[in-house]
Chain A
Amino acid sequence: MTETFKPADAAQLREVVAWAAAEEIPLDLAGSGTKRGYGRPVQARHAVDLSAISGILAYEPEELILTAAAATPMAEIEAAISAKGQMLAFEPVDLSALLGAAAGGGTIGGALACGISGPRRVKAGAARDHLLGFHAVSGRGEIFKAGSKVVKNVTGYDLPKIFCGSLGTLGAMTEVTVKVLPAPPKARTVLLFGLDVAAAVRAMTDALNSPFEVSGAALLPASIAARSAIDMVRAAGASVVALRIEGTPASVAARCSGLRALLAGRAPDEELHSMRSRRLWVEIRDVGALLPDAAAALWRVSVPPAAAPAITAALPGDWFLDWGGGLIWIAVPPGTEAEATRIRGAVAAAGTGGHATLLRAPASLRAGIDVFHPQPAALARLSARVKESFDPKRILNPGRLYAGV
Chain B
Amino acid sequence: MLKMPALDEGVLARRDRIVADLRAIVPGEGVIDSEAGRRAYECDALTAYRQMPMVVVLPSTTDQVAQVLRYCRDNGIKVVPRGAGTGLSGSALPLGDGVLLAMGKFNRILEIDYDNRVVVCQPGVTNLGITTAVQGDGFYYAPDPSSQIACTIGGNVAENSGGVHCLKYGVTTNNVLGVELVTIDGEVLRIGGKHLDADAYDLLGVIVGSEGLLGVVTEVTVRILRKPDTARAVLLGFPSVEQGGACVAAIISAGIIPGGMEMMDKPAIVAAEAFVHANYPLDVESLLIVELDGPAAEVEELIGSVEEIARAHGAVYARTSESEEERLRFWAGRKSAFPAVGRIGPDYYCMDGTIPRRRLPEVLRRMYELADSYGLRLANVFHAGDGNLHPLILYDASKPGDTERAESFGADILRLCVEVGGVLTGEHGVGVEKRDLMGAMFGEADLAQQQRLKCAFDPGGLLNPGKVFPVLHRCAELGRMHVRRGELPFPELPRF
Tell me the minimal C-beta distance from B60 to chain A in angstroms.
Answer: 23
CB <8 Å contact, A181 and B257: yes
Asked whether B295 is an interface residue with its Cβ less than 8 Å from the other chain, the reply is yes
Tell me the minimal C-beta distance from B180 to chain A in angstroms.
Answer: 12
Within 8 A of A (CB), among B89-106: none
Tell me the minimal C-beta distance from A153 to chain B in angstroms.
Answer: 4
CB <8 Å contact, A145 and B446: yes
Tell me the minimal C-beta distance from A266 to chain B in angstroms.
Answer: 16
Give Cα A154–Cα B170 distance, bound, in whole angstroms.
Answer: 13
CB <8 Å contact, A386 and B252: no
Contact-size category for A: 35 or more
Comparing B49-57, B75-83, B261-269, B418-426, the segment that makes contact with chain A is B418-426
CB <8 Å contact, A155 and B430: yes
Residues of A near B199 (CB, < 8 A) are 302, 355, 357, 372-373, 375
Tell me the minimal C-beta distance from B361 to chain A in angstroms.
Answer: 14
A251-B294, A378-B189 given as contacts; is B195 within 8 A of A302 (CB)?
A: yes
Q: Mark A185-212, 1 if CB is under 8 A from B, else 0.
A: 1000000000000000000010011111
CB <8 Å contact, B257 and A182: yes
Asked whether B228 is an interface residue with its Cβ less than 8 Å from the other chain, the reply is yes
Give Cα A325–Cα B301 distance, bound, in whole angstroms.
Answer: 33
> Which one of B295, B479, B493 contacts A16 once the chains associate, using CB atoms below 8 Å?
B493
CB <8 Å contact, B358 and A60: yes
Within 8 A of B (CB), among A282-324: 302-306, 323
Comparing B2-10, B22-30, B326-334, B450-458, the segment that makes contact with chain A is B450-458
Residues of B near A182 (CB, < 8 A) are 252, 255-257
Residues of B near A170 (CB, < 8 A) are 201
Residues of A near B423 (CB, < 8 A) are 148, 150, 153, 155
Asked whether B159 is an interface residue with its Cβ less than 8 Å from the other chain, the reply is yes
Asked whether B351 is an interface residue with its Cβ less than 8 Å from the other chain, the reply is no
CB <8 Å contact, A401 and B297: no
Within 8 A of B (CB), among A128-154: 128-129, 138, 140, 142-146, 148-154
In the complex, which residue of chain A has the Cβ closest to the Cβ of B387? A150
CB <8 Å contact, B490 and A12: yes
CB <8 Å contact, B159 and A379: no
> Which one of A23, A142, A181, A205 contacts B115 once the chains associate, using CB atoms below 8 Å?
A205
> Which one of A64, A158, A248, A375 contacts B160 once the chains associate, using CB atoms below 8 Å?
A158
CB <8 Å contact, B386 and A151: yes
> Which one of A21, A148, A158, A378 contacts B173 once the chains associate, using CB atoms below 8 Å?
A158
Asked whether A59 is an interface residue with its Cβ less than 8 Å from the other chain, the reply is no
Contact-size category for B: 35 or more
Asked whether B483 is an interface residue with its Cβ less than 8 Å from the other chain, the reply is yes
Within 8 A of B (CB), among A201-251: 205, 208-213, 247-248, 250-251
Asked whether A71 is an interface residue with its Cβ less than 8 Å from the other chain, the reply is no
> Which one of A6, A357, A388 contacts B495 once the chains associate, using CB atoms below 8 Å?
A6
Asked whether B117 is an interface residue with its Cβ less than 8 Å from the other chain, the reply is yes
Asked whether B13 is an interface residue with its Cβ less than 8 Å from the other chain, the reply is no
Asked whether A122 is an interface residue with its Cβ less than 8 Å from the other chain, the reply is yes
Q: Mark B480-491, 1 if CB is under 8 A from A, else 0.
A: 010111111110
> Which one of B196, B294, B357, B454 contacts A326 once the chains associate, using CB atoms below 8 Å?
B196
CB <8 Å contact, A375 and B428: no
Asked whether B403 is an interface residue with its Cβ less than 8 Å from the other chain, the reply is no
> Which one of A6, A122, A165, A212 contacts B493 once the chains associate, using CB atoms below 8 Å?
A6
Asked whether A327 is an interface residue with its Cβ less than 8 Å from the other chain, the reply is yes
Give Cα A200–Cα B123 distance, bound, in whole angstroms.
Answer: 34
A16-B493, A248-B301, A251-B294 given as contacts; is B427 within 8 A of A152 (CB)?
A: yes
Tell me the minimal C-beta distance from B166 to chain A in angstroms.
Answer: 7
CB <8 Å contact, A143 and B449: no
> Which one of B138, B456, B495 contacts A3 once the chains associate, using CB atoms below 8 Å?
B495
Give Cα A228–Cα B301 distance, bound, in whole angstroms.
Answer: 35
CB <8 Å contact, B202 and A165: yes
Within 8 A of A (CB), among B371-409: 383, 386-388
Asked whether B290 is an interface residue with its Cβ less than 8 Å from the other chain, the reply is no
Residues of A near B171 (CB, < 8 A) are 152, 154
CB <8 Å contact, B453 and A21: no
Most chain A beta carbons < 10 A, residue from B187, B196, B197, B249: B197
In the complex, which residue of chain B has the Cβ closest to the Cβ of A393? B481
> Which one of A164, A253, A389 contacts B205 once the chains associate, using CB atoms below 8 Å?
A164
A126-B197, A158-B160 given as contacts; is B493 within 8 A of A12 (CB)?
A: yes
Give Cα A152–Cα B143 distance, bound, in whole angstroms.
Answer: 13
Comparing B233-241, B314-322, B339-347, B434-442, the segment that makes contact with chain A is B434-442
A3-B496, A213-B294, A379-B189 given as contacts; is B441 within 8 A of A155 (CB)?
A: yes
What residues of chain B have their CB less than 8 Å away from a CB belonging to chain A?
113-118, 138-139, 159-160, 162, 166-167, 170-171, 173-174, 178, 183, 187-191, 193-206, 208-210, 226-229, 249-250, 252-253, 255-257, 294-298, 300-302, 354-358, 383, 386-388, 421-430, 434, 438, 441-443, 445-450, 452-457, 468, 479, 481, 483-490, 493-496
14 additional A-B pairs beyond A63-B387, A151-B386, A152-B386, beta carbons within 8 Å, are A62-B250, A129-B173, A145-B443, A150-B386, A152-B388, A155-B434, A157-B206, A164-B202, A166-B201, A251-B294, A305-B115, A375-B200, A385-B455, A393-B481
Which 6 interchain pairs have the tightest Cβ spacing?
A: A161-B205, A251-B298, A182-B255, A353-B193, A254-B297, A304-B194
What residues of chain A have their CB less than 8 Å away from a CB belonging to chain B?
3-8, 12, 15-16, 18-19, 21-23, 49, 52, 60-64, 85, 115, 117, 121-122, 125-126, 128-129, 138, 140, 142-146, 148-162, 164-166, 170, 181-183, 185, 205, 208-213, 247-248, 250-251, 253-255, 258, 302-306, 323, 326-327, 352-355, 357, 372-373, 375-376, 378-379, 382-383, 385-390, 392-393, 401-402
8 A/B residue pairs, CB under 8 Å, sorted by A? A122-B196, A140-B481, A143-B445, A152-B383, A158-B173, A208-B117, A385-B457, A389-B453
